[in-house]
Amino acid sequence: MSLHDFVVYAVPWWIQAAAGAGLIGTGLVFAARLLGMRAALKLAMAAGALLLALAAGRRARQRGWNDRQAKEKEDANRAISVARRARAAADADSGAGRLRDDDGFRRD
The number of domains in the chain is 1
* 99 domain residue, yes or no: no
**How sure is the predictor about 4, in pLDDT bands with cuts at 50, 70 and 90?**
confident
* 27 domain residue, yes or no: yes
Residues spanned by the domain of 13 = 8-91
Nearest 5°: the CA angle 29, 35, 37 is 60
* 70 domain residue, yes or no: yes
* 100 domain residue, yes or no: no
pLDDT tens, 28-86? 999 999 999 999 989 989 999 999 999 998 888 888 888 888 899 999 999 999 999 99
3 state SS of 69: helix
pLDDT number for residue 6: 82
Q: Which long-range contacts (CB under 8 A, 24 or more apart) does 41-49 make?
A: 48/24
